[in-house]
Each structure stands twice: as structure tokens, then as C-alpha cells.
Amino acid sequence: MQNILTHIRSKAVLYGSIAVVLFGASLLVSSNGRNDTQTLTVQRGKFTQQVSVSGKVVAAQDVNLGFSQGGRVLGVYAKVGDVVQAGAALAEIENGELRASILQKQAALEREQASLALLKEGTRSEELDVARSEVESDTVALAQAQSSLVEAVKDAFTTSDDAIRNTLDQFVDNPRTNPQLNFIVNDAQLENVVEGTRLTMESTLTTWQRNVEGLAADAALPGAVSEAQYDLVQVSSLLTNVNAALNKAVLTGSATQSVIDGYKTDIASARSSVNAAASALTTAITAERNAVSALDTSRKNLTLKQAGTRTSDVAAQEADVKAAEADLVSARAQLGKTIIRAPFTGLVTKVDLKVGAIASANVSEAAMVSSGVFQIESFVPEINIAIIEVGDKAEVTLDAYGSDTIFSATVVSIDPAETVRDGVSTYRSLLQFSKVDPRIKSGMTANVVITTDERDGVISIPQGIVIERGGKKYVPVEAADGVEEREVTTGTVSSLGNIEILSGLSEGDMVILSASQ
């Protein structure tokens, strides 16, 4: 690898020139003595994507800093001329919710860690007693909830029966056999609906009454609850239609305005009572379901404590701890986006922020000059700029000291606007030397290899071996009976001609390179 890097550096002599190098799996070339067939033995290897770029060492310059997201400025902690240490906060935007989230994530992590510690300690006798007590308490609570549900069903019937047979029937003739409203409705269809529904309601109330007689918290309760919910809807619908009919009543000598108004008042009261009964039934249903769930949970808890701690339980809880740790790391990362920190020790040269002002994302709000640390200025062609990011690591050689002396550096900024050089759009990029070194001087020519991607266990082969046909890709592979074309899925292609094989080839496969005719 060192020899390859040295070769790359020796070629990067033009200021601003660039090359992309990808290293893939090891390929062992062998030759078949019978037909001079050359093959490559596929092996997994380290896959490194690097960009080679040349530049110049420049004196310490301004590094523009800004927020990764916009917001209202909460505090400004540095001013122009201040010398700050690496990592020091220069300013931050409002982030109270994020800080609260971190506290919550921290508490969640501590809970998971405590649960893990308890699992490893095992169950104590006191815990078993508490678990048994919870089961007993939840059993009593369920019985009470079921009893309340029974009463709610009965009350729903009583309320509905009163609303129909007492309230409604006061102005209905022959309500149970041939219902007829004792006033005229200026809507014949609505009148027929009310009278017809009252007739069917009689059988509904009769069946409902039979179901609630002797109702208890047993297997019949769920069915009675469902029936009560349905019947309440029917009763409510009938009362709504009756109210509409009263609004269309024709005033007569017997059906005076006063009489009709009295009917309306009675029906309104009945509707209110039915709605209250329906609400009470819903509340009782929810309470009963919650009681069932609580008892189920307490029983499972008791069973787990009686069973003791299993290895799988510990492993699962350890996974929960790791998940909580990841959540905390993520929350802290989000908080970091709201704070401008000094990337290195240096002098603050610009602060364009005021407390209370609105700061935009990705806008230069502050600047620093590194103290005694030189930078490398380079211009990256647009074809390669997309794979380089701030934070990428790099190895640097200086012509003054030869290729054997290597310095480390980090990409610290990439200009958003292009710079046209020799008719090509390039992007000015700065790399910061990692350490102060007295050998580094302004104006020196630098050869930089930026590592943009690095993975282990990757299979890659020369791109020229891959055959494209019919929208698919194939590779000739040596087989027992000759040569087979193996379909493959490919990934990244290097400028040197290596192509990543995502699927289709395995370690040990013999790829056909060439054959003499």
C-alpha cells in the first residue's frame, strides 16, 4: 500500500490535478500450462477510495464557521481577537428541547442499565412478594371493573327503556303494537320512519331486557356489552328522528305550540340521558380492558420473576442498553448542530452574531485563524468534488522533504462556489495539518491523498473482464468443464479500471483473464 501511495504522489505534480484510485481485493494471477490461459484468483481485500490532489502550503487563514441548522441565537461566547481552544463553544442557537431530549435519553439509558443490573442480580424474595401482591390487587381491580361494566350495561337498558316507553310513548298511540304519533308531521316519510322504528324498537327492548336480567361478570358479558352498544345507537337514532319530527309538527287544537315545546323538552332530556349512558358504558369498557391488561402484565411479571433470569434475557437487555446509548449519541449529535465550536486552537477573526437574531443554516457567521498551523490550498475539479467531505482524513507529502516524509491532515472547508481554472470548474478546498511542525513552510508544494472511503472484505476485479450483454453483466469463470459466464452485480469503478463486485463472485473463484489462440 505504501508503494502504491508513493507512486500516486509521484504522479500528482500539477497544481490542482487530481486522480481517483480504488483498491479492491487481491487478485492472484496464474497461468495454465496447457493453453496459456491466465486466471485471477478472487480474494477479498481492503477497498480504499482516494483522491489525489496537489496544492500549496499557505499561511494560517480564516476558517468560516456556521450553524448546521437555522434558529434564534441564544448566546455568543467569543468576540473578535479572542484566542480560543479547540472545541470551545463560540455561539449557539436555541436548543432547549434538544437539551431536554438529551436528559430524557440519559434517564432512559440509566433505566436500561439499572434493569440490566437487576437481571444480573436475579430475583429476590421481596420482589416475588411484591409481584404476587400486584397480581392479587389487579385481580380485585378486574373484578370491580367487570362489576361496574355489568352495571353500566343495565343502566344503559334502563335509560333507553325510560326514554322510549315513558318519554316517547307519551305522544304515541298504541306504541307497542301499531305506533301512531298523536300529532301531524309535515313530512310523511319522516313520520313513517319514526312510527316504523318505534315498532321494531319494542322487540329490541324486550330482547335487551331479557339479556340484562341476571347478567353477571361471566362469559355472557362481552356479548351483552356489544349488544348494548348497538342498541344505544338505535335508540339515539330514533330519538334524533323524533326530535326532527317535532320540529316539523303541524300545530292543531290538541297539538298546540306549548304541547309541542313540552315534547321537545322531554325528548331533549331523554337524548341527554341516553348519551350519558353511552359515555358511561364506553368508560366502563375502557376501564375493564385496562384492568385485563394490567392483570395480564402483572401475571407475566410474576411468571418471569418465578422463572429467574435467563441468559437470553440478559442478552436482550444488553441490546436495549446499546439502543439507549445510540439514542443518546444521536441526541447529542443533534445538539451539536446548534453550536458553533472552534475546530482548532486559534484566533477569532469574525463574529457576525447577536443574541436574539435569527441565524440561517450553512451561512458563515464566524471565522478563525489557526495558531501556528499551516493549511493546504487545493482546487478540486467538479467531477470529484462530490465524494470529498469536510472531515475526510488525508496523507500529505511535501516536495521539499520527499515521498518518505508523510504528514497528516484533515479537510476543513470546501467552497460552495466554483472557481474556473483553465476552463474547468473547480472548488477551492482547504486541508488543515493535524500537528504543528516547524518543517512546514508557506509556499511549499504539497501532494495530498484524501481518503474518502475505506472498507475491508471487498471483492473487485479489472473492469475489462466484465462482459455487458442484454442489460446484464457477466464474468468468465473457470469451471470443471470449461468456462462459464457468471452473472454479476457491480458497484464502484476506479479510475485504474477496478470494479467492485457486489454479487456473483466468491473468494477462490478463478476468473479468466486471457487465453492464447
AA letter at 253: G
Helix (H) or strand (E) holding 500: strand 498-503
For the ranges 137-141, 214-218, 238-242, the lowest mean pLDDT is seen at: 214-218
Residue 18 clears pLDDT 50, i.e. is over it = no
Residue 29 clears pLDDT 70, i.e. is over it = no
Non-local (6+) Cβ contacts of 392 within 8 A are 410, 411, 450, 451, 452
CATH homologous superfamily of domain 2-60+372-514? Efflux pump adaptor protein, beta barrel domain (2.40.30.170)
Among residues 230, 223, 221, which one has the least CA distance to residue 146? 221
Crossing angle of the two packed helices 257-307 and 221-247, in degrees rounded to 10: 160
Q: What is the mean pLDDT of residues 70-90?
A: 90
Q: What is the mean pLDDT of residues 296-305?
A: 87
The whole-number pLDDT of residue 17 equals 38
Sign of the torsion angle spanned by Cα atoms 317, 321, 323, 324: positive
Beta partners for residue 378, in sequence order? 55, 429
Whole-angstrom distance, CA of residue 467 vs CA of residue 211: 78
Average pLDDT, rounded, for the chain: 86
Whole-angstrom distance, CA of residue 407 vs CA of residue 410: 10
pLDDT in tens, 86-96: 899 999 999 99
For the ranges 4-13, 272-281, 462-471, the lowest mean pLDDT is seen at: 4-13
Among residues 91, 61, 51, 6, which one has the least CA distance to residue 389? 51
pLDDT band for position 194 (50/70/90)? very high
pLDDT band for position 504 (50/70/90)? very high
Give residue for cell 511549499: 444
Residue 22 clears pLDDT 50, i.e. is over it = no
Residue 25 clears pLDDT 60, i.e. is over it = no
Ramachandran region of residue 470, left (φ > 0), alpha (ψ -120 to 50) or beta?
Answer: left
Q: Most confidently modeled of 85-89, 303-307, 400-404? A: 400-404
Q: What is the mean pLDDT of residues 454-475?
A: 90
Give 335: exposed, middle or buried? Use CB within 10 Å, 0-12, 13-18, 19+: middle
pLDDT in tens, 434-457: 888 889 887 899 999 998 888 888
Sign of the torsion angle spanned by Cα atoms 223, 225, 226, 227: positive
Beta carbons of 212 and 232 less than 8 angstroms apart: no
Backbone angles phi, psi at 229, to 5 degrees: -60, -45
First to last CA, the chain: 35
The whole-number pLDDT of residue 47 equals 78
The whole-number pLDDT of residue 6 equals 37
Give 472: exposed, middle or buried? Use CB within 10 Å, 0-12, 13-18, 19+: exposed
Backbone angles phi, psi at 490, to 5 degrees: -110, 160
Beta carbons of 342 and 84 less than 8 angstroms apart: yes
Among residues 236, 261, 239, which one has the least CA distance to residue 183? 261
In residues, how long is the chain? Answer: 517
Beta partners for residue 32, in sequence order? 37
The whole-number pLDDT of residue 517 equals 33
What is the DSSP secondary-structure string of 461-479?
A: EEGGG-EEETTEEEEEEEE
The whole-number pLDDT of residue 32 equals 54
Distance of CA 32 to the CA centre of its chain: 54
The whole-number pLDDT of residue 168 equals 95
For the ranges 274-278, 305-309, 339-343, 443-447, the lowest mean pLDDT is seen at: 305-309
pLDDT band for position 306 (50/70/90)? confident
Helix (H) or strand (E) holding 329: helix 311-336
pLDDT in tens, 36-51: 678 889 988 877 788 8
Q: Most confidently modeled of 48-62, 82-96, 109-123? A: 82-96
The whole-number pLDDT of residue 492 equals 79
Whole-angstrom distance, CA of residue 336 vs CA of residue 409: 23
Residue 25, CA distances (Å) to 9, 39, 56, 500 in order? 22, 15, 34, 9
The whole-number pLDDT of residue 52 equals 87
Residue 2 clears pLDDT 60, i.e. is over it = no
Q: What is the mean pLDDT of residues 256-266?
A: 94
Residue 105, CA distances (Å) to 100, 322, 331 in order? 9, 12, 8
For the ranges 27-31, 39-43, 249-253, the lowest mean pLDDT is seen at: 27-31
Sign of the torsion angle spanned by Cα atoms 337, 339, 344, 349: positive
Q: What is the mean pLDDT of residues 393-408?
A: 95
Residue 200 clears pLDDT 50, i.e. is over it = yes
Residue 208 clears pLDDT 70, i.e. is over it = yes
The whole-number pLDDT of residue 312 equals 83
Query: CB neighbours (10 Å) of residue 238?
Result: 23
Report the alpha-carbon angle 117-119-123, nearest 5.
115
AA letter at 162: D
The whole-number pLDDT of residue 62 equals 67
Under DSSP, the state recorded for 504 is S
Non-local (6+) Cβ contacts of 241 within 8 A are 190, 193, 194, 197
Under DSSP, the state recorded for 83 is E
Residue 1 clears pLDDT 50, i.e. is over it = no
Q: What is the mean pLDDT of residues 257-267?
A: 94
Query: CB neighbours (10 Å) of residue 313?
Result: 16
For the ranges 16-20, 76-80, 221-225, 335-339, the lowest mean pLDDT is seen at: 16-20
pLDDT band for position 9 (50/70/90)? very low
Crossing angle of the two packed helices 125-161 and 188-212, in degrees rounded to 10: 140
Non-local (6+) Cβ contacts of 16 within 8 A are 53, 54, 55, 378, 379, 380, 381, 421, 426
The whole-number pLDDT of residue 55 equals 93
